[in-house]
Amino acid sequence: MVAPVPVSRLPKVGTTIFTVMSRLAGELGAINTGQGVPDFDPPERLCDLVVQHVRGGRNQYAPMAGVAELRAAIAEKLQRLYRRSVDAQAEITVTAGGTEALCSSIQALVSPADEVILFDPAYDSYEPVVELCGGICRRLPLTRPDFGIDWDLLAATLNHRTRLVVLNTPHNPSGALLTRGDLDRLAELLRPTAAFVLSDEVYEHMVFDGRVFESVNGHPELAERAVVVSSFGKTYHATGWKIGYCVAPAALSTEIRKVHQFNTFAVATPLQHAIADFMRECPEWELQLPAFYQAKRDLLLRLLSSTRLIFQPTESTYFQLVDYSAVSSLSDADFSMWLLREVGVATIPVSPFCRSYAAEQRVVRLCFAKQDDTLRAAAARLASL
Ligand code: PMP
Ligand code: GLN
């Protein structure tokens, strides 16, 4: 008997650039400033709480939508930071990371032939899920050099088939932020449409130079038609825990939960209890993140200022784009591979985030969620360029 050969549902998809770069960095012993992954630990108290809850017998299935104490703590945070009042029972769903929140939300909302608007560069997980649902991605380039929305293009693209507009603010990989004016403008454009908004805000607490982050959570008109996604992995330096949540009006949350209950059913119970306790004990945790990451950004940029790389300080996230056109004329994919193999520094090219990518762009992304010594070691190698 001959085993059947699968027909790929995602023929254009390979292994993500983040996985490829981290694996190669490990094999080659390179410094990994590629994938967005901290090389330091979550807060010690939070780790102790996880152990405490594992030892304390919190080891069986959590409620499908999330542990009540955690959802209550999230609701308090939404009120405190964004002045948004939510019904924690009906409007907050705890998910297996931001990734699952994005995936379950897209699956809940997108039917075959529905159109979904993505802005390029776009995080890599959105499009494959839309395609699995039979949806059609309309990818609109962000303007350069500021990575803003081209409003005329968006207005011209919206139509009766548009089901979803995917936002990512703070933006990976550019660090650009949407302003209050942007959110107002989007609300106005969407008013006559039946489109929903999926706002990927996993870097919500990493915003620099005194800027204020404008969340869709703080925009009542958009919030009525939006799913807002957050990640505890980013907020607590714990990307490996794969825990996050999404906030959406009750009718929308009901549909998302129908999918979530079959994607994961429920999320790791001891982690949920530990995070709920930590949020109550340390509500100020988020407040120190801007200074913490801004110091790392500033260190990296100070070190890079003696190299031939060109950059604009990133406004947010833990990513910095650098222009290497003074160093090499290789494409970004070839340059980051060369840099990894010859210089021993892993970076992420920008082209995998884009469908149409201007071949003359010479930009790669560096992650600065790293110990200062890691940043110093990476910069010392980059100084040889
Ligand atoms: N969205 C963006 C823009 C990201 O960079 C990431 C990081 N992996 C995610 C979503 C996924 O978050 P999580 O690790 O919580 O699944
Ligand atoms: N979000 C991370 C990044 O942009 C990668 C996460 C992943 O590897 N899927 O680097």
Give yes or no for residue 357 having a pLDDT over 90: no
Tell me the pLDDT band of 360, cut-offs 50, 70 and 90: confident
Residues 249 and 154 in one domain: yes
Residues 160 and 22 in one domain: no
Ligand nearest to the CA of 94: 1
Nearest CA to ligand 2 atom 4: 36
Q: What is the CATH number of the domain that holds 139?
A: 3.40.640.10
Tell me the pLDDT band of 345, cut-offs 50, 70 and 90: very high
Q: What span, in angstroms and rounded, lies between the C-alpha atoms of 335 and 347?
A: 9
Residues 265 and 292 in one domain: no
Cα 366 to averaged position of ligand 2 atoms, centre (Å):
12
> Tell me: the pLDDT tens digits for 181-230?
999 999 999 999 999 999 999 999 999 999 999 999 999 999 999 999 99
pLDDT confidence of residue 176 = 98
Q: What span, in angstroms and rounded, lies between the C-alpha atoms of 56 and 46?
A: 15
Q: Can you give the length of the chain in residues?
A: 385
String of DSSP letters for 280-326:
HH-TTHHHHHHHHHHHHHHHHHHHHTTSS-B----SBTTEEEEE-TT
% of the chain beyond a pLDDT of 70 = 100
Residues 6 or more apart whose CB falls under 8 angstroms from that of 144 comprise none
Tell me if 180 sits within 8 A of 169, measured CB to CB: no
| Structural domain total, the chain | 2
Which of 281, 309, 336 is the last residue before a domain boundary? 281
String of DSSP letters for 24-43:
HHHHHT-EE-SSS--SSPPP
Pocket test for ligand 2, best of 15, 17, 18 (most atoms within 8 A of CB): 18
Residues 235 and 303 in one domain: no
Residues 6 or more apart whose CB falls under 8 angstroms from that of 46 comprise 236, 238, 274, 275, 278
- Asked whether residue 3 is assigned to any structural domain, the reply reads no
Cα 65 to averaged position of ligand 1 atoms, centre (Å):
20
Q: From the CA of 239, give the closest atom in ligand 2.
A: 6
Residues 115 and 27 in one domain: no
Residues 117 and 182 in one domain: yes
Residue 98 belongs to domain spanning:
44-281
Pocket test for ligand 1, best of 19, 118, 123 (most atoms within 8 A of CB): 123
Q: What is the CATH number of the domain that holds 368?
A: 3.90.1150.10
Residues 65 and 138 in one domain: yes
Residues 24 and 160 in one domain: no
Q: What span, in angstroms and rounded, lies between the C-alpha atoms of 93 and 341?
A: 42
Tell me the pLDDT band of 13, cut-offs 50, 70 and 90: very high
Give yes or no for residue 358 having a pLDDT over 90: no
- For 385, other C-beta atoms within 10 Å of its C-beta total 15
- Asked whether residue 346 is assigned to any structural domain, the reply reads yes
Helix (H) or strand (E) holding 231: strand 226-231
> Tell me: the pLDDT tens digits for 138-155?
999 999 999 999 999 999
Give yes or no for residue 89 having a pLDDT over 80: yes
Give yes or no for residue 313 having a pLDDT over 80: yes
Cα 2 to averaged position of ligand 1 atoms, centre (Å):
40
pLDDT confidence of residue 1 = 84
% of the chain beyond a pLDDT of 90 = 97
Give yes or no for residue 356 having a pLDDT over 90: no
